[in-house]
Amino acid sequence: MHVPDGFLDAPTSALTGAVAVGAVGLALVKARDELDDKTAPMAGLVAAFIFAVQMLNFPVGAGTSGHLMGGALAAVLVGPWTAVLCVSVVLLVQSLLFADGGITALGTNIVLMALTTVLVGWLVFRVLQLVLPKRMSLTPAQAGVAAFASVPVAASVFVLLYAVGGTADIPLDTLLTAMFGVHTLIGVGEGVITGLAVGAIVAVRPDLVRGARPLLESRELVIRGAGS
Amino acid sequence: MGAGHGHKLHFHGHSPIHRAPAHLKVLALLAFAIVVVATPRDAHPLFVAYAVVLAVVIGVSRVPPTYLLKRTVVELPFVVFAVLLPFVATGPRTEVLGVAVSEHGLEAGIALLVKGTLGVLASLTLAATTEPQDLLLGLERLRVPQQLVQIMAFMVRYLDVVTDEMHRMRIARESRGFSARDPRHWPVLAKSAGALFIRSYERGERVHLAMLSRGYTGRLPR
């Protein structure tokens, strides 16, 4: 669900555009620490993955289905800066090649779906990781909670932007209640599926889950005898 | 999907719009969208003028209007929002077909539909008349950071590979009798998403190694 042209007024779109340019610029520099010279091919492939996973429909029941937004998932899998970069590139390609999301709303879409979901997802994930016991089996659940939290927060940021530059006078408390309520439900799906997907990856290639790397490094090699 | 290059929205043609440099088209789209968004919503003649300009461009591009109109469905969720606006907005009421609705909400809803549709149609025209490779060159000419353009290039190049991979995984699931109907089937789909990530990431590593072995230093040669 991408914001189209004309949803927010021009000054607000310019403001979010400036924020997005700054954030993507910073992410370009910081992502090099996460990926070094592999940045272009790796981030490109991860972006293609996020694009594909957004096309994977999850049935909700009664014939309706939803799909992942993937911001928190990307943050846990490849680190926050690379994730901001990848989701931003996905939004850019969707806007220019698929006409999904207006070009003047690109900044707004990046702020909402790349910046907010990734940052909130990563912060919640890291806080949970620091607070809870350091066990690999908890990583999927932590990622799930992080993804769950990221969706209603992004919806609230949208309401905030709408309060600043909205084009119709909707009572804000009604809008906030509606958006927060609906997106809390959507967040449940996002959280459960993100958690399950991270669980599947942790089981097979834990080294690919960037959020699990501190745990992996502290893990000791165990040599078990046969039959034990 | 087997179409060598081009993407799903591209409409092959040789019109002046197809041949125009991509960076000019992106700038034109941006300027058009900014002007549309910045126009006050009661300036009705201006919106008619914008629609005429857009119609002329689409006419010159020889892309069938039905081709574009069918693809405006991407804005559907916001059409729902625009239709709801008159009912939830506050302010003086007015009557439409015997139903009391908010005057501001009605105006805002219509403005939202008009501006959104103009924007989507303009974006669709760009997408229909521009090859991805030309678009990337155009963005580079617009001084979009080289690194960002490269990431985009890799994404566009492997987009079909990754989505095809996902498609094959779906066929594999369905040929084993799986069909996703309710949330009880989420674990299977989430495992597919996980497998897709591992495959994409490992493909990225292989692509990077293949590029290194061909002398890649962080910049693509032209």
Q: Encode pLDDT of A61-111 as tens digits.
A: 666 677 788 889 999 988 899 899 999 999 998 888 887 878 888 999 999
Tokens of residue A128, six digits: 């949970």
Q: Which residues contact A181 (CB under 8 A, 6 or more apart)?
A: none
**Interface list for A 27-46 with B (CB within 8 A):** 28, 37-46
Instruction: Please indicate, yes or no, if residue A109 is contained in any of the structural domains.
Output: yes
Chain B residues closer than 8 Å to A113 by CB: none
Residue A40 contacts residue B216 (beta carbons within 8 Å): no
Look at residue B5 in the predicted model and tell me its pLDDT: 43
Nearest C-alpha in B relative to A92? B152
Look at residue A145 in the predicted model and tell me its pLDDT: 94
Q: Could you read off the pLDDT of A171-210 as tens digits, one per residue?
A: 778 888 888 888 888 888 889 999 999 999 998 888 888 8
Mean pLDDT of A211-228: 78
**Does the structure show a pLDDT above 90 at B221?**
no
Buried b / exposed e across A58-85, counting CB within 10 Å, b at 16+? bbbeeeeeebbbbbbbbbbbbbbbbbbb
Q: Which of A43, A170, A201 lies at the smallest CB-CB distance from B198?
A: A201
Look at residue A19 in the predicted model and tell me its pLDDT: 94
The C-alpha torsion from B139 through B140 and B144 to B148, rounded to 10°, is: 100
Chain B residues closer than 8 Å to A42 by CB: 201, 204-205, 208
ipTM of the complex: 0.85
Instruction: Please indicate, yes or no, if residue A213 is contained in any of the structural domains.
Output: no
Q: Could you read off the pLDDT of B186-215 as tens digits, one per residue?
A: 888 889 999 999 998 888 888 888 988 988
**Low-confidence winner among B97-106, B112-121, B147-156, B161-170 (lowest mean pLDDT):** B97-106
If you write DSSP's letter for every residue of B75-121 in order, what string do you get? GHHHHHHHHHHHHH--SSEEEETTEEEEHHHHHHHHHHHHHHHHHHH
Q: How confident is the model at residue B168 (pLDDT cuts 50, 70, 90)?
A: very high
Instruction: Compute the half-sphere exposure of residue B81: CA atoms within 13 Å on the CB side of its CA.
Output: 22
Separation between Cα atoms, residue B1 and residue B168, nearest integer Å:
13
CB contact under 8 A, A200 and B191: yes
Mutate to test the interface with A, among B88, B154, B202, B214 (most CBs of A within 10 A): B154
CB contact under 8 A, B120 and A104: no
Residue type, A74: A
Q: How confident is the model at residue A125 (pLDDT cuts 50, 70, 90)?
A: very high
Q: Which residues contact A226 (CB under 8 A, 6 or more apart)?
A: none
Q: Could you read off the pLDDT of A126-173 as tens digits, one per residue?
A: 999 989 888 888 889 999 999 999 999 998 998 888 888 776 667 778
C-alpha torsion sign, points B123, B128, B132, B138: negative
Look at residue A20 in the predicted model and tell me its pLDDT: 92
Look at residue A100 in the predicted model and tell me its pLDDT: 81
Residue bearing tokens 């974006």: B123
Instruction: Please indicate, yes or no, if residue A227 is contained in any of the structural domains.
Output: no
Look at residue B2 in the predicted model and tell me its pLDDT: 36
Chain A residues closer than 8 Å to B153 by CB: 40, 44
Is A1 in the B-facing interface, judged by CB distances under 8 Å?
A: yes
Instruction: Work out the minimum CA distance from B188 to partner chain A, whole angstroms.
Output: 9
**H/E segment holding residue A64:** strand A64-66
Instruction: Work out the minimum CA distance from B147 to partner chain A, whole angstroms.
Output: 7
Q: What is the pTM of this model?
A: 0.88
CATH of the domain at A59: 1.10.1760.20
Q: Which of B38, B91, B193 lies at the smallest CB-CB distance from A169?
A: B91
CB contact under 8 A, B116 and A7: yes
Q: Is B91 left (phi over 0), alpha (psi -120 to 50) or beta?
A: left
Mean pLDDT of A46-52: 90
The C-alpha torsion from A22 through A147 and B149 to A19, rounded to 10°, is: -20
Instruction: Please indicate, yes or no, if residue A81 is contained in any of the structural domains.
Output: yes
Is A173 in the B-facing interface, judged by CB distances under 8 Å?
A: no
Q: How confident is the model at residue B171 (pLDDT cuts 50, 70, 90)?
A: very high
Q: What is the mean pLDDT of chain B?
A: 82
Instruction: Please indicate, yes or no, if residue A218 is contained in any of the structural domains.
Output: no
**Does the structure show a pLDDT above 50 at B6?**
no
Nearest C-alpha in B relative to A82? B151
Instruction: Please indicate, yes or no, if residue A222 is contained in any of the structural domains.
Output: no
Angle at B79 between CA B78 and CA B81, to 5 degrees: 60
Look at residue A148 in the predicted model and tell me its pLDDT: 93
Chain B residues closer than 8 Å to A81 by CB: none
**Interface list for A 95-114 with B (CB within 8 A):** 95-100, 102-104
Do strands B99-102 and B93-96 pair parallel, antiparallel, or not at all (unpaired)? antiparallel
Instruction: Work out the minimum CA distance from B63 to partner chain A, whole angstroms.
Output: 15
CB contact under 8 A, B151 and A60: no
CB contact under 8 A, B9 and A171: no
Phi, then psi, of A42 in degrees rounded to 5: -65, -50
Mutate to test the interface with A, among B155, B157, B186, B206 (most CBs of A within 10 A): B155
Phi, then psi, of A149 in degrees rounded to 5: -65, -30
Instruction: Please indicate, yes or no, if residue A215 is contained in any of the structural domains.
Output: no
Instruction: Please indicate, yes or no, if residue A18 is contained in any of the structural domains.
Output: yes
Domain count, chain A: 1
Separation between Cα atoms, residue A211 and residue A208, nearest integer Å:
9
Q: Could you read off the pLDDT of B66-121 as tens digits, one per residue?
A: 888 877 777 777 777 777 777 777 666 666 666 667 777 787 788 888 888 888 88
Residue A69 contacts residue A54 (beta carbons within 8 Å): yes
CA distances from B78 to A194, B113, B119 (A): 26, 8, 13
Its domain, for residue A16, covers 10-207
Is A148 in the B-facing interface, judged by CB distances under 8 Å?
A: no
**Does the structure show a pLDDT above 90 at A124?**
yes
